[in-house]
Structure 1
Amino acid sequence: MTTSTTSPDNTVQSWRDLADQLTPEQIAYVEHWEAHPEIPPRADGLPVDPEHHRSSLIFTATEFAWRNAAAVRYAHIAPPPGATFVGDWAGDLWDSGDPATRIFEGTKRTCGHMDVRIGGWQDSNGHTDWQITVDSNEKFNDGQMTSAVARQVAAAIVEAADELDRLSA
């Protein structure tokens, strides 16, 4: 796999023009999709025409190639301390000058059916933006909670804020 990626100036006729920039797993994924143009189905229910399918495959391969190149380009950027998950780099494929970014997750505190999580964004300059998120871990709960759970969540938020202060110091 090479690290040079396609750019808007390149004329790509097929996703296979980018295959040398993809991992074997990514190639297998795109080949499967290529062999089954019915997946994913179009949101409007119409059949997928060959040109739309071809351009979707090229778009996906281009995204994969960019992410692979970004992983090499930004390999020197360490994940934020305390991160338990770090996503792929994302951003402008054509180097507009804006830094690439990736999401990360840290500690999760569970309070009944509510989760208090820390995480955020890291850019390709190494800057991190930490956040605290509170959400329900139940499929059909929009965040409603009893007073007992609310007190647990409040304590977890304070703990998460203290952790962010330590990680940001």
Structure 2
Amino acid sequence: MTLPDDPASWREVADQLTPEQAAGFELQERSGDDPATLRAMADTLANANAGEVTSGQIPAPPDATRIYGWQANGDRTWREFDGRTTRVGEAVIRVVGRQFGDGTCERWISLSATHDEEFQAEQARELAAALEAVAEEAERLG
């Protein structure tokens, strides 16, 4: 039984360690190393392993033009990416997103223009059509 003041064991994250790493922790545990230190080291290795494993097994999103590194927070692992960029006059429409460790993605649309951008009616229609096309693509890709 673990008391509230007792540190959690490295074994709680053993399934996220390589066999070699787990063997090293078993040796350190038998040698009497501090359990809190072992747990902190195991957490660090488990997070690093999650990024390495994920990056090697999950293909990039099909629309990604730039992919950023994997990040982990608790039990969530993700990487951010840039997708399609469309220009209409001075306006820029970008699809950006986040890909999770299970391969699923969420996307959002960013619209930027110079301050107080003014559009003629035809340019406004072109911008509206471009936004519609980007939104449909983002929905289709998930």
Which residue of structure 1 aligns with residue 85 of structure 2? 108
| 1:121 aligns with one of 90, 98, 116 | 98
Per-residue deviation at 1:122?
1.0
1:165 maps to: 139
How many angstroms does 1:71 deviate by?
A: 4.1
Identity of aligned residues (%): 27
* Alignment size in residue pairs: 103
Equivalent residues of 1:77, 1:124 under 8 A apart: yes
Structure 1 counterpart of 2:84, one-letter code: T
In structure 2, what residue type is equivalent to 1:87?
Y
Q: Say whether residues 1:89 and 2:61 are aligned partners.
A: no
Residue 81 of structure 1 aligns to a residue in which SS?
coil
Q: Displacement of 1:163 after TM fit? A: 1.4
Change (3 A) 1:162 1:8: same
> Where does structure 2 lack aligned partners over 5 or more consecutive residues?
1-17, 22-36
The structure with the greater share of residues assigned to strand is 2
Counterpart residue number, 1:76: 57
- 1:9 pairs with 32, 36, 40, which one? 40
Would you say the 8 A contact 2:71–2:79 is kept in 1? yes
> Aligned letter for 1:73?
V
Q: Which has the larger radius of gyration?
A: 2
How far 1:147 moved relative to its partner?
Answer: 2.4
Which residues of structure 1 form unaligned runs of 5+?
11-61
- C-alpha deviations, 1:44-83, integer Å up to 9, x for none? xxxxxxxxxxxxxxxxxx8xx9986444210211111211
Q: Residue 111 of structure 2: which of 109, 134, 137 is its match? A: 134
Root mean square deviation of aligned Cα: 2.9
Alpha carbons 1:67, 1:88 under 8 Å: kept = no
1:154 aligns with 2:128: yes
Which has a greater percent of helix? 2
Q: Is the 8 A contact 2:77 2:100 kept in 1?
A: yes
